[in-house]
Structure 1
Amino acid sequence: MRTAALRRWSWVHTWSSLVCTAFMLLLCLSGLPLIFYEEIAHASGAGIETPSLPAATPRAGVDAVVQAAQAHHPGLVPLYLFAEPETPEQWLVKLDTRVDTDERLARFAAVDARTAQVLGEPVFNEGFMHVIYRLHVDLFAGQAGKLFLGAMGLLLVIAIVSGVVLYAPFMRKLEFGTVRHDRSTRVRWLDLHNLLGIVTLVWALVVGSTGVINTWAELILKAWQAEQVTALRTGGGTPAAIAPRAPASGGVVQNAMEQALAAEPGMVVSMIAFPGTLLATPDHFAVLLRGDSALTARLTQTVLVEPQGGRVIEAAPRPWYATLLQLSQPLHFGDYGGLPMKVLWALLDLVTIGVLWSGLMLWWLRTRAARGAHAQRALSGA
């Protein structure tokens, strides 16, 4: 590669790295505890434990779960029911003063799915892990903070690509993994930076690109949900090929859930949105279903169910950008492979901190050398 082209790539690599490095260090440091969010919550007692009951204990009707949550929060109405894969014996119920609020003051209740007993009220907006989460996600600046971090993530991707371009001709002269300890401090830092960078290349690209996608999560989901709801409201949905039935003795919510599961065999409930909420229509329950495997658990399908009569309408197929988002979220934190993958993610995160720090050291040593040379030329000319 010609010298002029290498200089241009070097300029791109240097400045894209420098602009984003401080924020990438913050994201790497805050990302470490977030990788083990569930484990930390369990160890600290922040999670709400489910009582141990015999495996054959039947599950309570969903309507009984909703009634228990409303009794715990008198005067509030249910908005959503969440079924988390990590806590299959719990329902998380979200309530507010009415179904069309902005949900900023919504309250939660964790309810035992077998006994319909309220287990506690989760709090998601306080404590050390909440501070770490907000720093990592939006710098306490809301959507503007997310988009800013997304821009920093794009600079990181540019820095990685330009670094690979520079690495190829550089390493033709050296064996892989060489660190020249007999050379100057700057050369040793350069060799270390190149080694750590190439080792974490694929991981950094994956985590950096999925992080950028995740910063657009709220906008992507709102657009997708609005598109689906609009299509369903205007008759764009497809009636499911199952016979509707009247509400069972368990109640209308239980009936909506069972009808949705009958329409999509092999899937499990992820969330139930009540009529009138953002994710439903004024006349339907919206039931979000997910796959039951480690990969498909992050992919959801939405169906609408009429409260009376139980007619099911399948939503439009999920667009590619929503699929990309749903796959990128767990991949970003290493949620696919359990604890071993989380440990691997943490180790690679630590190595990436080394890459960022060595890059800063290289820039500082180069700047100090340039200043020294400039001062020496000034003295020589005096």
Structure 2
Amino acid sequence: MAKTRKPKGRSLWWRVHSWAGFKLSIFMTFVLATGTLAVFAHEIDWLVTPAMRATPHTGPRASWGTLAAAAARAVPEGRLQSLHAPIDPWFTAEAWVDTGAGSPRRVYVDPWSGEVTGTHGWANVHRFLRQIHRHLMLPTQIGIPIVSALALLLLASLVTGIVTYKKWWRGFFKRPRGGDARRLSGDLHRLGGLWSLWFVALISLTGLWYLVETLGGRAPVPELARTEQARAAPTGAALDRLVARARHLRPDLDIREIRFTPRQGVIVLGQGAAWLVRDRANGVALDPADGAVLTQLAGEDLGLHERISEMADPLHFGTFGGLFTKVIWFLFGLILTGMSVTGVIIYAKRLEKAERGARGAVTIARQGMGSWAWVSLTLILLALVLTPFAIGGAV
């Protein structure tokens, strides 16, 4: 009786690599593609929304008070929620105004003239890509764990890919071969994988962090002091005085956002001395009645847990270095999305050759995914169906 041969270690590693990248490849490709597009979601909105466009000038910009007053006049029946600085010089400033109809309305204001260039509902490209990539338009407590669990598959693919690729360090400059789809896709897959090792590790780790947060590991949020009574949102000269006060208290603060809250004051947020943190980590909350300091926030004072939480988004989406890092993240996102596709081709073509053409590659891919393909398609279709209800707001 012949002895059963145990699979070689490398063969076992390859099987794990193939399963991780193949069974949920449709869903993985969808999440990677939407995440890649989300890097430039604001820029896509800029292209399709003329009101978001501004012409840069050399003169002084309009004050925060002027911008807020213009936004308040544009939607007089609403309450000013927040005011955001232009993302780049060719963007307008953006205000969010609560009209009591559910989602806020966006008001775009020219940062130099202080004139309103247009208004828009809550739904836009950025909101669509952010929510469909982050939680599939599902409730966050359900959708985020589903999406972030893919980080485990990415991490498994990273480790097994290194193990199965013999002497991988020699392949960084290996030119892809032609000849047939299997050989070309395999070479492109390995080349893309090598150059994006750091990117896969980064996306995997930040994705795992999002999973940890949804499972109870969320960092504590700083408590903001409250005023004795509700305050109206100041605009014009009143807001300019508060901004001047905030700049006096925090000369290093590059103001990126102002939030108008009824009971926690006017919160001036932005970037300070701490690197790789969200704007919300640095700021000053002031009482609009007398300018008294209610709360001060500084990214450099955060503990390790809070600092990791604040670093996750800038690292995951590459926003920390402006347009330069966003271009890099977008290009490597394309590579990673392409690897998800070439991985399927490699798997199907390998089996097609082994079976000597008994089944076509497409049939092999479809049958190999089995019920996982239907799970993936169901999640994607459900997200698209839920989109009008999830992002809300009239265009």
Would you say same fold, with TM above 0.5?
yes
Q: Which residue does 1:378 correspond to in 2?
A: none
Hey, what does 1:138 align to over in structure 2?
Answer: 135
1:24 counterpart residue number: 28
Which has more radius of gyration? 1
Count of aligned residue pairs for this structure pair = 344
Identity of aligned residues (%): 23
Structure 1 residue 318 corresponds to structure 2 residue 302? yes
C-alpha distance in 1 between matches for 2:87 and 2:273: 9
The residue that corresponds to 1:118 in the other structure is 116
Deviation at 1:196, TM superposition (A): 3.0
Q: Given residue 274 of structure 1, which amino acid in structure 2 is its aligned partner? A: F
Cα distance in 2 for residues equivalent to 1:172 and 1:52: 48
Does residue 1:9 correspond to 2:13, yes or no? yes
Shift in Å, 1:4: 5.5
Shift of 1:115: 4.6
* Partners of 2:208 and 2:243 in 1: CA distance: 34
Q: How does 1:171-186 map to 2 (within 5 A)?
A: 171=167
Residue 107 (structure 1) aligns with = 105
Highest RCO, 1 vs 2 (Cα 8 Å, sep ≥ 6): 2
Say whether residues 1:74 and 2:76 are aligned partners.
yes
2:145 is the alignment partner of 1:158: no
What residue identity is the alignment partner of 1:111? Answer: V
For 1:1-382, list aligned pairs within 5 A: 5-50=9-54, 55-56=59-60, 59-60=62-63, 62=65, 64-87=66-89, 90-97=92-99, 104-126=102-124, 131-143=128-140, 144-167=142-165, 170-171=166-167, 190-213=186-209, 224-225=220-221, 227-229=222-224, 232=225, 250-251=237-238, 253-276=239-262, 282-291=263-272, 300-312=281-293, 313-315=295-297, 317-337=301-321, 339=323, 341-368=325-352
Normalising to structure 2: TM-score of the pair? 0.68
SS in 1 for 2:34: helix
Partner of 1:238: none
1:187-207: per-residue Cα shift (whole Å, max 9, x none)? 775555333322321222223
Q: Tell me the secondary structure at the aligned position of residue 272 of structure 1.
A: strand
- Report the secondary structure of 1:55's partner residue: coil
In structure 2, the CA distance between the partners of 1:203 and 1:175, relative to structure 1 (3 Å rule), is closer
SS in 1 for 2:109: strand
Preserved CA contact (<8 Å) 1:214 1:329: no
SS of match in other structure, 1:86: coil
Cα displacement (A) at 1:222: 8.4
Tell me, in whole angstroms, the C-alpha distance in 2 between the residues paired with 1:119 and 1:173.
53
Question: Is residue 299–residue 327 contact of structure 1 (8 Å, CA) maintained in 2?
Answer: no
Structure 2: 5+ residue stretches without partners = 1-5, 228-233, 360-395
SS in 1 for 2:72: helix
Name the CA distance, whole Å, in 1 between partners of 2:213 and 2:63: 34
